Structure 1
Amino acid sequence: STRIRKEHTVSSIKKVLFLAFPNVGEQDLFAPWELFRALAYDLGQSGESLEVTLGSFEGGTVTTHMGAQIQTEKVDPQSRYDLLYIPGGIGGGAASRDPRTLDFIRAHHDEDRWVAANCAGVGVLFRSGILKGTRFQAAAVLGRRLADLGADVARPRRAWSLLPDAKIFTAGGAATVHPSTIALVTHLFGEDRARALAGTWDTLPLHGETLFHPEGPLSDDDPTFVTNLQNGMEKVFLPEN
């Protein structure tokens, strides 16, 4: 795939929200949030501002998929961010049926703001309707179900996909989240910032130059394993609407 190229590094992204919900996946939420917090620190050293919020509609304590309790800021459903990030986890199933969450996603997309998701969060984006007519990436557990529901799921799968015209970013399961965040930072803030993050966090020695491309590497799925995974879990991550 073609390397992401940007002629400037001053980004229009000033406010980012990572939206937490009960039973959110820890890696799906914390890995990109931590990288964006590190990016915000880096930008601050050169006088630029990036506000990175870990929030929920209820505010206060949110219990994650594996039982960790995290403190979140209360999010007003009428508020807006330059980038809205929907993480995954088993709680994505309930989030995909929450009108408040779906309206929030649609409002950001309708206002030409960036919307990103990984793992089960991609199913939430699908339920919001913003992926209609768009080919996107999904975690293995959701690929078959989303296709059955009429979605244009990329096959074969890639680890992530940036769609600049639609301002949509989708990534697979938890293992894709760290490198895919570097790719997202590359597009939104420039390769220099992304390369610094990737080097600092040891991502670059492991994943190499693929980090700076709009599409991630192909997933080498084992068909039997994926089918068994889908049979057991696909309706947990994306239940009947």
Structure 2
Amino acid sequence: MTGKKILLLAGDFVEDYEVMVPFQALGTVGHEVHAVCPEKEAGETVKTAIHDFEGDQTYTEKPGHDFELTHDFESVDPAEYDALVVPGGRAPEYLRTYDGVLEIVRHFFEADKPVASLCHGLQVLAAADVLDGRTCTAYPALEPEVRAAGAEWTDEVTREGNLVTAQAWPDHPAWLAEFLDLLGTDVEHAEPAPADD
């Protein structure tokens, strides 16, 4: 397998698990992931938020980590990338207000390149007007927004064409497996070494 070049859109208060886990997992299997944020450069950080489900009407939010960006947003040429990841959290609320972000997202859909998004990341896709006629999911409270963007709603990890969507970080195993399959990633499982007696 030849590793793909993947663009990851981040921003302050992106959901911690939804940026850290895909970034690390995709890199682990040989893909090159470039994490970027508007108005920030390589080496700068974005703050993350940890969202948890603790029996309240909605998720709780706690401070997360500082996530280091790997590349400058201003130098991104989406034509140089094979795939896109749009994580959730609170970052998508304002990332969708950047024309440059929306243009990047539209490029991946117009070129039919793999896109993985989950949770509130679908807010960016809805703002880019790329969901019309698709079947997808997002954080459950976003169902009205996803439907208003012209999409058919589902409650589970969904892969349709070039798009893989999930509701939140608990969906990582299925969501990442679908995305890796879409990327053509062959993950070989080595047999564990025998234990020393």
TM range (shorter): 0.7 to 0.9
Aligned to 1:196: 189
Contact 2:6/2:33, CA 8 A, preserved across alignment: yes
Amino-acid identity (%): 21
The one-letter code sitting in structure 1 at the alignment partner of 2:8 is F
One of 33, 48, 65 as aligned partner of 1:64? 48
Match of 2:72 in 1: 74
CA contact (8 A) 1:109 1:130 kept: yes
**Aligned with residue 55 of structure 1, among 28, 36, 59:** 36
Task: For 1:169 and 1:180, locate their aligned partners in 2 and report how far apart those are by CA, in whole Å.
Answer: 7
Alpha-carbon offset, residue 150 of structure 1: 4.4
**2:132, 2:110 → 1: CA distance?**
13
How many angstroms apart in 1 are the aligned matches of 2:77 and 2:183? 24
The answer as to 2:176 corresponding to 1:176 is no
Partner of 1:115: 115
| Aligned equivalent of 1:93 | 93
After superposition, the C-alpha distances for 1:127-184 in whole angstroms (9 at most, x for unaligned) are 111111111122212113332x2432324x11x11123xx122111121124310221
1:27 aligns with 2:49: no
Once the 2 structures are TM-superposed, how far is the Cα of residue 96 of structure 1 from its aligned partner? 2.1
What is the one-letter code of the residue matched to 1:19? L
Distance 1:184 1:153 in 2: 20
TM-score normalised by L of structure 2? 0.77
CA–CA separation in structure 1 for the residues paired with 2:134 and 2:94: 23
The structure in which a higher percent of residues are strand is 2
1:185 pairs with 2:169: no
Unaligned runs of 5+ in 1: 1-9, 41-49, 201-241
Q: Is the 8 A contact 2:12 2:46 kept in 1?
A: yes
| Counterpart in the other structure of 2:57 | none
Residue 21 of structure 1 aligns to a residue in which SS?
coil
Helix, strand or coil: the match of 2:14?
Answer: coil
For structure 2, the residue ranges without an aligned partner over 5 or more in a row are 50-62, 193-197
* Equivalent residue number for residue 150 of structure 2: 151
For 1:162, what is the secondary structure of its paired residue? strand
Q: Give me the whole-angstrom Cα distance separating, in 2, the residues matched to 1:185 and 1:104.
A: 21
- Greater helix proportion: 1
TM-score when normalising by structure 1: 0.64
1:163 to 154, 160, 163: 160
Figure out how many residues of one structure are paired with residues of the other and give that number: 173
1:127 & 1:19 partners in 2: Cα distance? Answer: 14
Q: Following the alignment from structure 1 to structure 2, what is the Cα–Cα distance between the partners of residues 153 and 111?
A: 22
Note if contact 2:7-2:33 (Cα within 8 Å) is conserved in structure 1.
Answer: yes
Distance, in Å, in 2 between the alignment partners of 1:102 and 1:188 is 22
Q: 1:187 to 1:104 in 2, by over 3 A?
A: closer
Q: Does 1 or 2 have the higher relative contact order (CA < 8 Å, sep 6+)?
A: 1
